[in-house]
Amino acid sequence: MTRTLMITTLVLGTLGAGTAFASEEACNVPMSDWQPREKLQQKLEQEGWKIRRIKTDDGCYEVYGFDKDGRRMEAYFNPETFAMVRGQEDD
């Protein structure tokens, strides 16, 4: 039982580290290539989002707001391409 618990913990820890690493890689963009956050806000609002706040976090734009379906979201976007790197409902 203890061995199974250790293996499960190790696997889950590795998966979490992979997610963090993936978002760092996706937002590894020189500042000279960043687009203005106002442009991201405009893009998202055209897609139906209601934006509460946009800030910079770990080289990404971190957006707090509501998506087109009204779900409260916390999402990270590549500052060059505006591709969503990671997003989750913010309960």
**pLDDT, tens digit (0-9, with 9 covering 90-100), for 13-64:** 544 444 444 445 679 999 999 999 999 999 999 999 999 999 999 899 999 9
What is the tens place of the pLDDT at every residue in 70-80?
999 999 999 99
Q: Supply the Cα-derived Rg of the chain in whole angstroms.
A: 16
The pLDDT confidence band at residue 89, using thresholds 50, 70 and 90, is: low
Answer whether 0.85 is exceeded by the pTM: no
Q: Give the whole-angstrom CA distance, residue 82 versus residue 23.
A: 13
